[in-house]
């Protein structure tokens, strides 16, 4: 007898096709049999050791978070309900060009300091890996050899590779350095990475010229991976930045996946159709392009990310030194507030839109949940004075929500034919962005059931089958016989995000069961002790 039969489920299979009623049998971590309309047909009902009555529930593939920042969270938090409770069964890590492999000791130290706002300092993590393969092995091992909460794939982070080879300096790579970077990207892909990411408003990745990026993308293309850039502007130069990535990958022959594809700031209000027209033209010409978005208007990053690129050259220690110097700090302020820094996407910063969401030092907790301007007014000082002191006192640790998005752009982009879902969820900080805990139920509840922006079948396909196709996973992302039993059961009438800006860590409702590898990680709405997740490695070309 099989391990489990899920009876009378409304199957939304991840392909975009119409739903159907079925019994689904699971054995050995895979879907072994699907019997459609078993009860109505009067046929012999399949039997298993265990039965689950799914009457009134939708059975779908587990959701794939195409843009996750759980690189350390999966290793430090065996519960990981932030994602598991949403129905997420696979996360794509190594985003925005900065993560923890491949590294040597100095590079690891610099990266840890640079992205402490995303993942925390990592003092509670044993960094016992250096290569991409060793990091994936560490994910496999997880907690006491038992694994991790959900599965994880990895992108080779271009900024980390550049830091390892070139350093944190703003200069072109020498020929021998470019050779080594190409070799490191190839090695990471051979060891199981699914592609390459960049953070082209973050140092040191932003210092790479397009010719350098194109050389790395050509390597990715040979391995059948994809390039996932956080491109050079989501603000004043957004359309040009999108076009730049489309052209770059076309020349390299590389698949392109646009990270958190938004059109933000006042200069881009109502301009999503221009972006979609650009993408449609490229797609119609044969380009291989996809994108992901989160279903919210504010962005989330670190306060230090807003600084001009030159202010961060040389790494975090140099950034802090420049901030401590009054003359240099005044130059930074002028670029931020008057001319528009590249870190703030070429738009002069509006401190009223910059909300502190987390700090490393608990003594600075009073700033959390307030905008920089509100804190400055409370202290009777200029906003830059407040921001500068926070950066220095917290060692570049503060994270922020940046309230610069537009709802009409969010809705237009999520309707596009190559759209997928990604949370871009930062799990650290006292008040993280609610997207970390709410992205997937918000798509299903708010945008599908309440607003009707997507049909249920369309929404599920964007969260499952389409991402799996981009990742080139041959046996995930669909409810099919022979496929892995990474599955979610949810109530389409009640599924909703519980997280809000006031209570961002509230878990969702309407998702009673989640299975990873055929085992319940969420059962009757509660987290079990199962750690069935593993590293998901790139499929050979």
Per-residue pLDDT of the chain (541 residues; tens, 9 = 90+): 569 999 999 999 999 999 999 999 999 999 999 999 865 566 677 787 899 999 999 999 999 999 999 999 999 999 999 999 999 999 999 999 999 999 999 999 999 999 999 999 999 999 999 999 999 999 999 988 899 999 999 999 999 999 999 999 999 999 999 999 999 999 999 999 999 999 999 999 999 999 999 999 999 999 999 999 999 999 999 999 999 999 999 999 999 999 999 999 999 999 999 999 999 999 999 999 999 999 999 999 999 999 999 999 999 999 999 999 999 999 999 999 999 999 999 999 999 999 999 999 999 999 999 999 999 999 999 999 999 999 999 999 999 999 999 999 999 999 999 999 999 999 998 999 999 999 999 999 999 999 999 999 999 999 999 999 999 999 999 999 999 999 999 999 999 999 999 999 999 999 999 999 999 999 999 999 999 999 999 987 6
Q: E strands, 164-315, where?
A: 195-199, 226-230, 255-258, 289-293, 299-302
Return the closest-CA partner of residue 24 out of 12, 36, 39. 36
**DSSP letter assigned to residue 272:** H
CA 467/CA 473 separation, integer angstroms: 9
Preceding omega of 256 cis (within 30 degrees of 0):
no
The confidence score (pLDDT) of residue 48 equals 79
Contact 317, 283 (CB under 8 A): no
CA 335/CA 329 separation, integer angstroms: 10
Q: Which residues contact 419 (CB under 8 A, 6 or more apart)?
A: 290, 291, 292, 293, 413, 462, 466
The confidence score (pLDDT) of residue 305 equals 94
Return the closest-CA partner of residue 199 out of 167, 231, 240. 231
DSSP string, 2-65: EEEEEEEEEE--SSSPPPEEEEEEEETTEEEEEEETHHHHTPPPP-EEEEEE-TT-EEEEPEEE
N- to C-terminal Cα distance for the chain?
A: 36
Give me the residue label for tokens 């999108």: 242
The confidence score (pLDDT) of residue 39 equals 57
């Amino acid at each position: 007898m099989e391990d489990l039969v899920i009876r009378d489920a409304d199957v939304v299979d991840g392909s975009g096709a119409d739903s159907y009623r079925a019994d689904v049998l699971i054995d050995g971590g895979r879907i072994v049999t699907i019997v459609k309309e078993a009860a109505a047909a009067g046929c012999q009902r399949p039997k298993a050791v265990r039965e689950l009555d799914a009457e009134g529930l939708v059975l779908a593939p587990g959701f794939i978070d195409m843009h996750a920042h759980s690189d350390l969270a999966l290793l430090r938090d065996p519960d990981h309900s932030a994602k598991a409770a949403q129905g997420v069964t696979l996360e794509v890590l190594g985003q925005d060009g900065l993560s923890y492999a491949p590294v040597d000791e100095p590079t690891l130290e610099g990266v840890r300091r640079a992205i402490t706002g995303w993942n925390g300092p990592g003092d509670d993590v044993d960094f016992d890996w250096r290569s991409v393969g060793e990091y994936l092995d560490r994910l496999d091992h997880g907690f006491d050899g038992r694994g991790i909460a959900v599965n994880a794939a990895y992108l080779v982070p271009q900024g980390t590779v550049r830091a390892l080879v070139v350093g944190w300096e703003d200069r072109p790579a020498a020929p021998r350095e470019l050779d080594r970077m190409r070799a490191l990207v190839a090695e990471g892909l051979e060891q199981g990475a699914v592609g390459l990411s960049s953070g082209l408003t973050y140092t040191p990745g932003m210092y790479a010229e397009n010719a350098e990026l194109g050389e790395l993308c050509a390597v990715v293309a040979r391995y059948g991976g994809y390039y996932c850039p956080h491109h050079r502007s989501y603000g004043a130069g957004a359309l040009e930045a999108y076009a730049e990535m489309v052209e770059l990958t076309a020349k390299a022959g590389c698949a392109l996946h646009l990270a958190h594809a938004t059109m933000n700031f006042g200069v881009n209000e109502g301009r999503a159709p221009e972006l979609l027209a650009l993408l449609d033209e490229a797609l119609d010409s044969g380009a291989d392009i996809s994108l992901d978005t989160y279903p919210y208007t504010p962005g989330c990053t670190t306060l230090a990310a807003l600084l001009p690129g030159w202010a961060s050259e040389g790494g975090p220690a140099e950034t802090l030194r420049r901030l401590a110097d009054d003359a240099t700090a005044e130059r930074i302020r002028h670029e931020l507030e008057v001319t528009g820094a590249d870190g703030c996407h070429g738009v002069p910063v509006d401190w009223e839109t910059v909300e502190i969401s987390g700090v490393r030092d608990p003594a600075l907790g009073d700033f959390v949940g307030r905008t920089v301007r509100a804190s400055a007014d409370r202290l009777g000082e200029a906003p830059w004075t407040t921001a500068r002191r926070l950066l220095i006192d917290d060692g570049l640790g503060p994270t922020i929500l940046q309230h610069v998005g537009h709802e009409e752009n969010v809705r237009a982009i999520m309707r596009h034919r190559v759209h997928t879902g990604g949370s871009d969820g930062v799990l650290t900080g006292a008040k993280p962005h609610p997207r970390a805990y709410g992205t997937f139920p918000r798509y299903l509840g708010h945008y599908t059931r309440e607003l009707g922006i997507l049909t249920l079948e369309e929404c599920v396909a964007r969260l499952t089958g389409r991402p799996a196709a981009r990742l080139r996973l041959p046996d995930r992302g669909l409810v099919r016989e022979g496929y892995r039993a990474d599955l979610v059961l949810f109530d389409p009438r009640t599924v909703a995000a519980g997280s809000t800006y006031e209570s961002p860590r509230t878990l969702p409702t309407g998702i009673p069961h989640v299975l990873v590898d055929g085992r319940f990680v969420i059962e009757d709405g509660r987290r079990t002790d199962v750690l069935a997740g593993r590293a998901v490695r790139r499929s050979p070309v």
